[in-house]
Structure 1
Amino acid sequence: MQLVTPAPGYLAAYTDALRRGWSPDNARGAAAAAEQLEAIERDAQAFVAGLTDREALGAPIRLPDGSTVPRLPGFVMWMWDGEFCGSIGMRWQRGTEALPPYCLGHIGYGVVPWKRERGYAKAALAQMLVHAKAEGLRWVDITTDLENRASQRVILANGGVLLEQFEKPSQYAGSHVGLRYRVELTPACA
């Protein structure tokens, strides 16, 4: 499995995953998938281009409660093993590791159900940590739900250390408890 920059040649497989019920947005699920399918239908090239926005020039981000917040610099990469496997994204603020309260972590990822339990999330996170270091970050925070043991294993396997158990902000409809991990970006990540 390798990470690839989203491109038109991969888009049919990505669209198929959305149509099969997968969503790259763990918090907004089916609503986010539907929005992406509409955006792809409207202008596929603009959709793909918008997945890399290192200057935060794109539209605001919609949170699970429907509110919007300013976009942060970031980009998405797709997991690929000859087929679409999932996505992983990173966001940050220039000049600091701090994130605004509405942004739970620097990195988020999701593997399509039919490709799980193959180590793809673990490999994708390891590769994304190299990109985070290249952006000048000294560490990244990654959050997961209390009950998501698979994601916790992925984070721990990549050097994550549990920082805290926290209550998610109210914008995350049905707010509940999350776990925040930190991964120090050592020279080994370069």
Structure 2
Amino acid sequence: MPISEATSPVQLVWPSHAHLAGYVAALERGWSPNNLRPEAAQEELLLIRADPDGFLKSLVDREAMGPQVTLPDGTQVPRLPGYRRWLWDGEFCGSIGLRWQPGTNSLPSYCLGHIGYAVVPWKSGRGYAKEALRSLLPEAASIGLGYVEITTSPDNLASQHVIRANGGVLVEAFIKTPELGGTPELRFRIALQSTSAG
């Protein structure tokens, strides 16, 4: 039974050594933070084993200083400024990320949305994704975004529920570009409250 926001034990934490073992365990169980590229889990495990400090640093990259991003077809594209937060309830629960282009709400065609999230399957059904998205929206507003866009597949009703529960409005159905898989997708938009001082 989903828990209410008032009693939700999930919180967003910054990637750190204190939480890394839980993240590694989730990757080793077959979970991937990238639903477009499941092989990213194995790639991340290799990176963590080679340089855990460097891996953690790469997850918070507000200046887009990291390497290019690999798309599902192998194409490499410029990295956007962004960061990931981890969902934590005493154990690792999932990941949520925010990315943007400075000075605009627009995103390049190869980036489907400002926010992506993935909850580990053994923690699903608890309202964690909804709570994580709710918690991240003020952060998106604080970097100057007037809205965020989030995409999901037409058959992912759970994700659509998460987005709609946070004020998401469907703006279009579209077909992803070939390098992103060429499959149907839905784009939602969530208007943000300005956090600038008045």
The structure 2 residue matched to 1:132, chosen from 106, 126, 140, is 140
CA offset digits 1:42-94 (Å, max 9, x no partner): 10010001100000000000100011100000000000000000000010000
State the percentage of identical aligned residues.
Answer: 56
CA-CA distance at 1:187 after TM superposition:
4.6
Query: What does residue 25 of structure 2 align with?
Result: 16
Gaps of 5+ in 1: none
1:78 corresponds in structure 2 to 86
Q: 2:106 is matched with which residue: 98, 113, 119? A: 98
Distance in 2 (CA, whole Å) between partners of 1:68 and 1:157 is 34
Match of residue 58 from structure 2: 50
Per the TM alignment, residue 186 of structure 1 is displaced from its structure 2 partner at its CA by 2.0
Does 1:36 find its partner at 2:44? yes
SS of residue matched to 2:145 = coil
What is the CA–CA distance in structure 2 between the aligned matches of 1:14 and 1:126, rounded to whole Å? 22
Partner of 2:12: 3
Question: Does the aligned pair in 1 maintain the 2:171–2:187 contact within 8 Å?
Answer: yes
1:178 equivalenced with 2:178 (yes/no): no
8 Å contact kept, 2:93–2:120: yes
How many residues align structurally?
187
Counterpart Cα distance in 1 of 2:168 and 2:37: 25
Name the Cα RMSD after superposition: 1.1
Q: Which amino acid aligns with 2:190?
A: V
Q: TM-score, normalised by structure 2?
A: 0.93
1:181 is paired with a residue whose SS is strand
CA contact (8 A) 2:138 2:193 kept: no
2:131 corresponds to which residue? 123
Alpha-carbon deviation of 1:123?
0.3
Mapped to 2, the partners of 1:166 and 1:117 lie a distance apart of 28
2: CA distance between counterparts of 1:150 and 1:105? 17
Q: Distance in 2 between matches of 1:43 and 1:186?
A: 38
C-alpha contact 2:142 2:194 (8 A) present in aligned 1: no
Q: Distance in 1 between matches of 2:22 and 2:106?
A: 34
Which one-letter code corresponds to 1:20 in the other structure?
Answer: R
Q: Which residue of 2 aligns with 1:59?
A: 67
The alignment partner of 1:89 has SS state of: strand
Unaligned runs of 5+ in 2: 1-9
What is the rounded CA distance, in whole Å, between the counterparts of 2:136 and 2:150 in structure 1?
12
- SS of equivalent to 1:171: helix
Please tell me whether the aligned partners of residues 97 and 116 of structure 2 are also in contact (alpha carbons under 8 angstroms): yes
Which 4+ residue blocks in structure 1 deviate beyond 2 angstroms? none
